[in-house]
């Protein structure tokens, strides 16, 4: 018997959630500004990470999530062990691994939101519990509630209403 969640349209998150990365995060910020986005969303991951796979198979593959996050953010995946080069927010060339180490990313998945200046404004380490929590995270960033509250406190305040 199929449940209601099975009827939700789904697509490959690699093609429809994440965007093609030019390898230049400063250029990506300029693009985000031009497209009137709030900033960049980075998902730090690594090959074989079961929680990263969970996120891709149960959250990031949903069309509603893809459309929500693409509406507000430019979304990229960063391999914490990756050898691909990128230019960071301060115009320094480094590998994805070096970028992750410099950013003190120690676990996967790690979700980081950067404003249009490249400043990290929110970091969440570990998987998001479910689709509704991931939607709430987008709302938390979009409403700039992070300026006065932690995500955990925000979740509690929203559930009390």
**Model confidence over 32-86: pLDDT tens digits?**
999 999 999 999 999 999 999 999 999 999 999 999 999 999 999 999 999 999 9
Question: Model confidence at 159, in pLDDT bands (50, 70, 90)?
Answer: confident
Question: Considering just the CA atoms, what is the radius of gyration of the chain in Å?
Answer: 16
Taking a C-beta distance cutoff of 8 angstroms, is the pair 7, 43 a contact? Answer: no
Tokens of 143: 């409403």
Q: Where does residue 10 rank: exposed (0-12), middle (13-18), buried (19+ CB within 10 A)?
A: middle
Residue-by-residue DSSP string for 106-133: -SSSEEEEE-TTS-EEEEEES--SSHHH
- pTM of the predicted protein model: 0.92
User: In which region does residue 114 sit, left (phi positive, over 0), alpha (psi from -120 to 50) or beta (all else)?
Assistant: beta
How far apart (Å, rounded) are the C-alpha atoms in residues 23 and 94? Answer: 10
Q: Is the domain 22-160 a CATH 3.40.30.10 member?
A: yes
**Model confidence over 78-136: pLDDT tens digits?**
999 999 999 999 999 999 999 999 999 999 999 999 999 999 999 999 889 899 999 99
- 143 compared with 7, residue with greater pLDDT: 143
pLDDT of res. 127: 83
Question: Model confidence at 161, in pLDDT bands (50, 70, 90)?
Answer: low
């Amino acid at each position: 018997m199929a449940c209601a969640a099975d009827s939700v349209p789904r697509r490959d998150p690699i093609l429809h959630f994440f965007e093609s990365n030019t390898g230049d995060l400063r250029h990506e910020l300029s693009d985000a500004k031009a497209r009137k986005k709030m900033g960049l969303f980075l998902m730090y991951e690594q090959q074989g990470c079961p929680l990263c796979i969970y996120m891709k198979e149960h959250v990031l593959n949903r069309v509603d999530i893809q459309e929500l996050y693409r509406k507000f953010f430019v979304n990229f995946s960063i391999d914490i062990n990756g050898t691909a080069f990128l230019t960071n927010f301060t115009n320094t060339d480094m590998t994805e691994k070096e970028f992750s180490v410099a950013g003190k990313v120690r676990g996967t998945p790690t979700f980081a939101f950067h404003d249009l200046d490249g400043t990290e404004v929110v970091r969440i380490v570990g998987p998001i519990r479910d689709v509704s929590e991931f939607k709430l995270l987008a709302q938390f960033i979009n409403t700039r509630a992070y300026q006065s509250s932690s995500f955990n406190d925000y979740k509690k305040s929203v559930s009390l209403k």
